[in-house]
Structure 1
Amino acid sequence: MSHPATSAPAERSAQRKQPTHSGEGHLASNLVTFAVMMALFLGSIFSLTFFDQNNVWAFAACLVLFFLAFWIPQSILGRSDTGPALAEGDRKA
C-alpha cells in the first residue's frame, strides 16, 4: 500500500513520464495537413473573385471548399471518434 520512498522531489518527477500531446512527434504530417487545409481555405476565398449575380457556381465552390477546410481537421483528423469514450471518463482513448 505504501509507495517506495524517494530522497528528493526531483527524483519523483523524473520517474513520472509526462503525457504526450496529440500532435507531438508528427511535425511533417502536421505541416502537410496545415498546408492542404490552408490551400482549401484560400481556394474558397479565391473562388469569390469569379462570383457575380448571374452565375453562382463560384459561391457554391466557396461554401464547399470552406466547409471542407474546417470539417476535415475537426471530424476526420480530430478526435471525434473518441468522444463517447471521453464522455464516460476514459482518458486513455
Structure 2
Amino acid sequence: MSQNASQPIEKENPLGQSILLFAIMIALFLGGIYSLSYLTLENPWPMAVCLGLFALAFWIPQTILGRSNSAGES
C-alpha cells in the first residue's frame, strides 16, 4: 500500500459537490424515464429525448467529470 496508515485518505471532491452532481445526474435520468410517459406510436420524439437524457446522465460523469485521463496513475 502506498498510503501511510496515519495519513487520511484524500477525497476527489467535497461531499456537497458530490451530492449536487448526483442530484443533477439523477434528475437527467428520471427526466428520461418521465419522457416515456408521452411516447406513442405516432410521436417518436419522447423516445429520442429519453435516449438523449440517458446518454447525458451516463456520459457526463464518465467523461467530463471522470478521471479517465489519469487511470492507473497514483
TM-score where L is the length of structure 2: 0.83
SS in 1 for 2:41: coil
> After TM superposition, where is structure 1 displaced by more than 6 Å over at least 4 residues in a row?
none
TM-score normalised by structure 1 residue count: 0.68
* 1:43-79 deviation digits (Å, cap 9, x = unpaired): 0000000000111000000000000001101111111
Instruction: Give 1 or 2 for the bigger CA radius of gyration.
Output: 1
1:66 and 2:54 correspond: yes
State the match for 1:20 in structure 2.
10
**Residue ranges of structure 2 left out of the alignment (5+ in a row):** none
Residue aligning to 1:38: 26
How does 1:44-83 map onto structure 2 within 5 Å?
A: 44-83=32-71
CA apart distance, 1:13: 4.5
The higher-RCO structure (CA 8 Å, 6+ apart) is 2
Identity within the alignment, %: 44
Query: 2: CA distance between counterparts of 1:18 and 1:59?
Result: 46
Partner of 1:3: none
The answer for the alignment partner of 1:29 in structure 2 is: 17
Segments of 5+ residues of structure 1 without an aligned counterpart are: 1-11
